[in-house]
């Protein structure tokens, strides 16, 4: 990835986040929604926008539908805010990496608790045998 595409990815992420916060009134896009990343194609014609939110799979579908509905507005606003020759088509994709991270931390904590419990049980048995 070139420095230019990295910079453009970041700019698009910041601008869409700002537009989401200040100018989008779609009820499907209310709540804890984050733009977690942007991946623009090499030809700069398409951008995949990674979206994260807390909720179930039905909520995710509605969120993506909300973004698809707002994509024309978002694209026009990006064209005004960014000084680029071609404004990319916006494709929205749900990013579940945060949820997977939370699940992983929960699993690690459970294993650690199981290990502590096993140690306590061994310690109790050792005391009984003395």
| Whole-angstrom distance, CA of residue 88 vs CA of residue 11 | 13
Instruction: Decide if pLDDT at 94 tops 70.
Output: yes
| Whole-angstrom distance, CA of residue 117 vs CA of residue 61 | 41
Q: Of the candidates 47, 26, 31, which has an alpha carbon nearest to the alpha carbon of residue 93?
A: 47
Cα–Cα distances in Å, from 35 out to 10, 15, 55, 83, 86? Answer: 10, 10, 15, 21, 21
Instruction: Decide if pLDDT at 29 tops 80.
Output: yes
> What's the pLDDT score for residue 53?
85
> What's the pLDDT score for residue 1?
75
Q: Are residues 13 and 45 in the same domain?
A: yes
* Helices (H), ranges, the chain: 3-22, 57-81, 97-129
CATH number of the domain encompassing residue 65: 3.30.300.20
Q: Are residues 91 and 109 in the same domain?
A: no
> What's the pLDDT score for residue 129?
66
Q: Are residues 42 and 103 in the same domain?
A: no
> What's the pLDDT score for residue 58?
63
Range of 109's domain? 97-130
Q: Are residues 80 and 42 in the same domain?
A: yes
Instruction: Decide if pLDDT at 111 tops 80.
Output: yes
Q: Identify the residue whose tokens are 């990013």.
A: 95
């Amino acid at each position: 990835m070139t420095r230019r595409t990295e910079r453009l990815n970041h700019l698009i992420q910041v601008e869409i986040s700002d537009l989401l916060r200040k100018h989008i009134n779609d009820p499907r896009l209310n709540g804890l929604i984050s733009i977690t990343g942007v991946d623009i194609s090499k030809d700069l014609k398409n951008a995949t926008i990674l979206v994260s939110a807390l909720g179930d799979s039905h909520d995710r579908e509605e969120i993506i539908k909300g973004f698809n509905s707002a994509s024309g507005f978002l694209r026009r606003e990006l064209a005004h805010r960014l000084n680029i020759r071609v404004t990319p088509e916006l494709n929205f994709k749900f990013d579940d990496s945060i949820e997977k991270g939370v699940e992983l931390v929960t699993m690690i904590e459970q294993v650690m608790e199981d290990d502590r419990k096993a140690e306590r049980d061994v310690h109790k048995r050792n005391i009984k045998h003395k």
